[in-house]
C-alpha cells in the first residue's frame, strides 16, 4: 500500500496543471448527481398524486413528469461535458508522461540501456501508459460520480426516513470491507502480470529484429519454446490477477442486494403502518438501487486502479532512473581541435567484480594513425566508447588537445569525431538524408562527391529513385555492405579532425575494400585516426599499433617493429597468415 501512495503522489503532481479542468468536471459531476437524485423524488411525488380511481391530480403528475424530463436532459448534458473534460485531462496526462519518459530515455546512460531489454522499455512507454490511461479515465469518470452519488443518496434518504436510511448505513460497510480485502491482495498479482507482459514484449522485439539470424541458425523451434514459456507465465499471472480482482464485483453485488432487500422490507412495513407514503417507498427503492450501483462501479474502478498504478509505477521507475552525468556548467573547448590525445591511469569496468581497462596510458600526436588490435573482449571497442564519452571513465583522465573530455560538451566532442563501426547506423528516410545526417545543410554536389569517394555512388544510382530512394529502419533491404558504404559516405561528407574506424570494412568485399582503402588514406591525411580491426592486413600502414590484452597495452610500435619483437602481436599475425 505504501508503494501505491508514492505512485499516487507522483500522479497527482502530473495532474496539477489540469486542476481547472478537474474542478469543472467535479462541478458537472455534482450537477449530474443532483439531477439524477432529484428524479426519484419527482417520480415519488407523481405516484402520490395518483390517489385512487377518479382521484388523480393530473396537473401535479404532468408537472412532475415535465420536471423529470428537464432533469434528465440537464443530467445528460452535464455527463457529456464531464466526460469530454475527463478524456481531455486523461490523455493530456498520458501524453505528458510519454513525452517525459521518451525525453528521459535520451539522457539515460548506455549502462542502463545495455542492461534493460529494448522490448521492456517499449512496453513501459506504450502498453503500461495505455493501461494507466484506462485506469485513470475510469477513475475520473466513475469514481467522482460514484462517491457523490453515495453521499447525495444518503442525504436524500435521511431526509425521507431515518429508520430506512439507517438500514442502508449499517449494511453498507460490508461492501467496502469486501472490496478493500480483495483489492489489497491483487496489487502483487497485477505487478507480476505487468512484468510478464514486459518480458514478452522484449522477446517478441528481439525475435522480430533478428529474424534472419533465427532462421539462419534454425532457431525457430527454440524461439517458439521460449515464447510459449513466457506466454504461459503471462497467462498464469493474468488469469490469477483477473480472477481474484473479478471477485470484487459479485461480492459487492451480493451485499448490495442485501441492502436493497432490507430497504424493501423495512420500507414496506413502514408504508403499511403509515410511516411513509407509497411514493416515498418508490423513491427509497430507487435510491437503494442508485446507492448500491456506485459500489459495484467503484469496486471495478479499484481493480482497474490497482492495475493502472502498477503500470504507472513501472513507467515512473523508468522516468526516475539516474540520468547520465550532467554536462559541465562551463564547458571547455580546445582552442584548436587537432586530435592530440593524452591518456593517464585510465580505469573502467562494466561490472565492479570484473575489471576491464586498468592503468591505461597513451600519448597520441595530431595526425597519427593508431591501430588497436587484440583478442575479442580485450577492451578495444570499450576504449572507443570512452573516447566518445558513451561511458565515462571510473578513474584517470582522457585529454583532447589539453582539455579533459569530461569538461567538454558531449555534442561538441562528438561533432569533432567521425565514426564508422561494424554496426551500421541508418534511419528510416531517403539515401540523401542518411548521408547528410551529420551535415544537414550539405549541397547535392557535396553528397554525391562523398558517395563517390565511398564507392557508394554506383549502387545508389541503380536504386529505383537514386538518392531519393526511401529505406526502412536500419537500412531496410540494403545489403550489409551497402549499408556500411553509406555510413562511410556520411563520414566522408563531414571530414572531422578525428576518425574512429571500428571494423569499418568488415562487410565489404575484398575488391571494393581495396578501393575504399584509397579513399580512407585520403580521408585520414592529417587527421588523428583510430583503427580497430581483427584483420591485421588492414592496419599495416598505421603509424603506431597498440596491442591490447585484458585491458592493458602489452605492446606498441609499427608493424615491422612488432613482428621483430616476436611477441603477442607476432603470434596474432602468424595465426592469420601461417597458411
547 Rama sector, left if φ>0, alpha if ψ -120 to 50, beta otherwise: beta
Residue-wise pLDDT tens digits, 3-12: 667 887 888 8
474 Rama sector, left if φ>0, alpha if ψ -120 to 50, beta otherwise: left
- Which pLDDT score is estimated for 183? 66
Burial 367-381 (b: 16+ CB within 10 A, else e): bbbbbbbbeeebbbb
Helical residues (DSSP H) of 274-402, grouped into ranges = 278-319, 380-387
Domain at 341-577: CATH code: 3.40.50.300
- Which pLDDT score is estimated for 23? 86
Give the angle subtended at the CA of 118 by the CAs of 115 and 122, to the nearest 5°: 130
3-state class (DSSP) for residue 471: strand
Q: Per-residue confidence of the chain (579 residues) as pLDDT tens digits? A: 556 678 878 888 888 888 888 888 888 888 888 888 788 777 777 776 666 565 667 777 788 788 889 989 998 999 899 888 888 888 888 888 889 889 988 888 887 887 787 778 888 888 888 888 877 777 777 777 777 787 877 777 777 777 777 777 777 767 667 766 766 667 677 778 878 887 888 788 778 777 777 777 778 888 888 888 888 888 888 888 878 777 776 777 777 777 777 777 777 777 777 666 766 777 777 777 777 677 666 666 776 777 788 888 888 888 888 888 888 888 888 888 888 888 888 888 877 777 777 777 888 888 888 888 877 777 777 888 888 888 888 888 888 888 888 888 888 888 888 887 777 778 888 888 888 887 888 888 988 998 888 888 888 888 888 888 888 777 677 877 788 888 888 888 887 888 888 776 666 667 766 766 776 777 777 888 888 865 665 677 788 888 887 767 788 888 888 888 888 878 877 776 554
- Which pLDDT score is estimated for 453? 84
- Phi/psi for 371 (5° steps) reads -100, 140
- Which pLDDT score is estimated for 81? 92
Quote the strand ranges of 208-356, DSSP E: 341-348
Asked if 99 and 317 count as a contact pair (C-beta separation under 8 A), the reply is no
Burial 322-357 (b: 16+ CB within 10 A, else e): eebeeeeeeeeebeebbbbbbbeebebbeeeeeebb
For 46, residues 6+ apart whose C-beta sits below 8 A from its C-beta are: 60, 61, 64, 65, 68, 279
Query: Which DSSP state fits 551?
Result: T
Give 357's strand partners.
Answer: 348
HSE-up of residue 358 (Cα within 13 Å, Cβ side) = 8
Query: Which DSSP state fits 492?
Result: H
The Cα 192–Cα 397 span in angstroms is 44
- Which pLDDT score is estimated for 73? 93
3-state class (DSSP) for residue 101: helix
Residue-wise pLDDT tens digits, 140-161: 777 777 777 878 777 777 777 7
Burial class, 440, CB count within 10 angstroms (exposed 0-12 / middle 13-18 / buried 19+): exposed
Q: Is this prediction's pTM over 0.75? A: no
Asked if 373 and 572 count as a contact pair (C-beta separation under 8 A), the reply is yes
The Cα 68–Cα 80 span in angstroms is 18
Domain at 16-319: CATH code: 1.20.1560.10
Nearest to 311 by CA among 1, 5, 6, 7: 7
- Measured torsion, CA atoms of residues 228, 231, 237, 241, in degrees rounded to the nearest 10: -140
- Which pLDDT score is estimated for 352? 74
Pairing of strands 357-364, 395-400: unpaired
The Cα 324–Cα 395 span in angstroms is 16
- Which pLDDT score is estimated for 579? 45
Burial 217-230 (b: 16+ CB within 10 A, else e): eebeeebeeeeeeb
The Cα 165–Cα 142 span in angstroms is 24
- Which pLDDT score is estimated for 12? 81
The rounded Cα 295 to chain-centroid distance in angstroms is 34
- Which pLDDT score is estimated for 512? 66
For 116, residues 6+ apart whose C-beta sits below 8 A from its C-beta are: none
Nearest to 138 by CA among 313, 267, 297: 297
- Which pLDDT score is estimated for 211? 75
Boundaries of every domain in the chain: 16-319, 341-577
Asked if 423 and 487 count as a contact pair (C-beta separation under 8 A), the reply is no
3-state class (DSSP) for residue 287: helix
Amino acid at each position: 500500500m505504501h508503494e501505491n501512495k508514492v505512485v499516487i503522489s507522483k500522479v497527482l503532481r502530473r495532474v496539477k496543471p489540469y486542476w481547472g479542468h478537474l474542478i469543472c468536471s467535479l462541478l458537472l459531476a455534482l450537477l449530474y448527481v443532483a439531477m439524477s437524485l432529484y428524479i426519484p423524488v419527482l417520480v415519488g411525488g407523481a405516484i402520490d398524486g395518483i390517489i385512487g380511481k377518479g382521484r388523480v391530480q393530473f396537473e401535479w403528475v404532468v408537472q412532475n413528469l415535465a420536471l423529470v424530463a428537464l432533469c434528465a436532459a440537464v443530467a445528460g448534458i452535464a455527463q457529456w461535458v464531464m466526460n469530454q473534460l475527463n478524456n481531455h485531462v486523461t490523455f493530456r496526462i498520458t501524453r505528458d508522461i510519454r513525452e517525459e519518459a521518451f525525453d528521459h530515455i535520451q539522457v539515460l546512460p548506455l549502462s542502463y540501456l545495455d542492461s534493460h531489454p529494448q522490448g521492456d522499455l517499449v512496453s513501459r512507454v506504450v502498453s503500461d501508459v495505455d493501461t494507466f490511461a484506462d485506469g485513470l479515465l475510469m477513475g475520473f469518470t466513475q469514481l467522482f460520480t460514484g462517491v457523490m452519488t453515495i453521499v447525495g443518496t444518503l442525504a436524500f434518504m435521511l431526509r425521507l426516513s431515518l429508520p430506512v436510511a439507517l438500514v442502508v448505513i449499517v449494511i453498507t460497510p460490508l461492501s467496502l470491507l469486501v472490496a478493500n480485502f480483495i483489492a489489497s491482495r491483487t496489487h502483487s498479482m497485477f505487478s507480476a502480470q505487468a512484468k510478464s507482459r514486459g518480458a514478452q514484449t522484449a522477446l517478441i522485439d528481439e525475435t522480430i529484429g533478428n529474424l534472419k539470424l533465427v532462421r539462419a541458425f534454425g532457431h525457430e523451434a527454440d524461439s517458439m519454446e521460449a515464447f510459449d514459456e513466457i506466454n504461459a507465465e503471462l497467462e498464469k499471472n493474468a488469469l490469477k490477477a483477473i480472477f481474484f480482482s473479478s471477485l470484487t464485483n459479485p461480492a459487492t453485488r451480493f451485499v448490495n442486494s442485501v441492502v436493497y432487500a432490507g430497504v424493501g422490507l423495512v420500507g414496506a412495513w413502514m408504508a403499511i403502518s403509515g410511516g411513509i407514503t407509497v411514493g416515498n417507498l418508490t423513491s427509497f427503492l430507487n435510491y437503494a438501487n442508485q446507492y448500491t450501483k456506485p459500489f459495484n462501479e467503484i469496486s471495478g474502478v479499484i481493480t482497474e486502479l490497482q492495475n493502472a498504478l502498477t503500470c504507472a509505477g513501472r513507467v515512473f521507475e523508468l522516468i526516475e532512473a539516474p540520468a547520465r552525468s550532467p554536462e559541465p556548467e562551463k564547458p571547455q573547448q580546445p582552442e584548436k581541435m587537432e586530435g592530440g590525445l593524452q591518456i593517464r591511469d585510465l580505469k573502467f569496468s562494466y561490472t565492479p567484480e570484473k575489471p576491464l581497462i586498468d592503468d591505461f596510458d597513451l600519448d597520441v600526436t595530431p595526425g597519427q594513425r593508431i591501430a588497436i588490435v587484440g583478442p575479442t573482449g580485450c577492451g578495444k571497442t570499450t576504449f572507443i566508447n570512452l573516447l566518445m564519452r558513451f561511458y565515462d571513465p571510473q578513474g584517470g583522465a582522457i585529454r583532447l588537445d589539453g582539455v579533459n573530455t569530461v569538461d567538454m560538451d558531449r555534442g561538441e566532442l562528438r561533432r569533432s569525431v567521425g565514426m564508422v563501426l561494424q554496426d551500421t547506423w541508418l534511419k528510416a528516410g531517403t539515401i540523401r538524408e542518411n548521408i547528410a545526417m551529420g551535415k544537414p545543410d550539405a549541397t547535392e554536389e557535396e553528397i554525391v562527391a562523398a558517395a563517390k569517394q565511398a564507392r557508394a555512388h554506383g549502387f545508389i544510382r541503380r536504386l529505383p529513385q537514386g538518392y531519393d530512394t526511401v529505406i526502412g529502419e536500419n537500412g531496410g533491404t540494403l545489403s550489409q555492405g551497402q549499408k556500411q558504404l553509406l555510413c562511410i559516405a556520411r563520414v566522408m561528407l563531414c571530414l572531422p579532425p578525428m576518425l574512429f574506424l571500428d571494423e569499418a570494412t568488415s562487410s565489404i568485399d575484398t575488391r571494393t575494400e581495396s578501393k575504399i582503402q584509397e579513399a580512407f588514406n585520403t580521408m585520414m591525411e592529417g587527421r588523428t585516426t583510430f583503427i580497430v580491426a581483427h584483420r591485421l592486413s588492414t592496419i599495416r600502414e598505421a603509424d603506431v599499433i597498440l596491442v591490447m590484452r585484458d585491458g592493458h597495452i602489452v605492446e606498441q610500435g609499427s608493424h615491422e617493429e612488432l613482428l621483430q619483437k616476436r611477441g603477442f602481436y607476432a603470434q596474432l599475425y602468424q595465426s592469420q597468415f601461417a597458411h
